[in-house]
Amino acid sequence: MLRMRVYLPGTAADLELLKSNASELTTTPALPRRGFAVTKSLVAANPGLDQDELEWEAFDAAATDSASLLLSDPAAVPMRVVLSFELPPATISEVTGDDARQFAAVAVSSTPSSTIAAIHVDEPNTAALIKKLRADPDSASTLAEVLDADLLWYDPSEVEIIPLPQ
């Protein structure tokens, strides 16, 4: 069956759902989640990029969106989370928009946990930067530091051992 890689921005709350053996993250066809993928619009906007570079653009957009989720919820654990899914194209619809990240945006109506290919999270020491950004959300330099921080890769079977920042 044909599958499409989709990067879903999230928070530690999504990890808790996975730890509880949830079969689906909180998504319904009536209320789809925004994710990022290599879409026709992304390819058209970046004709010189190869497939790996396009995947990175979609992944980076999801990591940036995860930071936005953290800024909008001060109670959330200060850690970006990106979940990589392999989803059937029928569960994905392209979202259009003007900003660069929108070229990769998709609406995802179904996110079965069995389709997670990888989990990406901030290193625990990035939490201090996220807290600093929450204190001064207009700081371009702190935002750049957060967005430049690497995300660690975990297999979905390792969700129980992902360290949460203090």
Question: Per residue in 68-121, pLDDT tens?
Answer: 999 999 999 999 999 999 988 888 888 876 665 677 788 887 777 788 899 999
Q: How far apart are CA 43 and CA 61, in angstroms?
A: 14
What is the β-pairing status of strands 92-94 and 151-154?
unpaired
Give me the pLDDT at residue 76, please: 94
Residue 37 domain-assigned (yes or no): yes
For 23-52, what is the mean pLDDT?
A: 78
Q: Domain residues for 148? A: 4-159
**Structure tokens given for 156:** 């979905």
Give me the pLDDT at residue 34, please: 86
For residues 115 and 86, the answer to whether their CB atoms sit within 8 Å is yes
Q: Which residue has the higher pLDDT, 111 or 155?
A: 155
Q: How far apart are CA 23 and CA 105, in angstroms?
A: 24
Residue 164 domain-assigned (yes or no): no
Domain count, the chain: 1
Q: Taking all residues of the chain, what is their mean pLDDT, rounded to a whole number? A: 87
Residue 165 domain-assigned (yes or no): no
Give me the pLDDT at residue 100, please: 57
For residues 83 and 26, the answer to whether their CB atoms sit within 8 Å is no
**Structure tokens given for 138:** 């207009």
Give me the pLDDT at residue 30, please: 47
pLDDT band at 29 (very low <50, low <70, confident <90, very high): very low
Residue 166 domain-assigned (yes or no): no
- Angle CA 76–116–80, to nearest 5: 25
Global pTM value: 0.89
pLDDT at 123 over 60: yes
Count of CB atoms within 10 A of residue 110's CB? 18
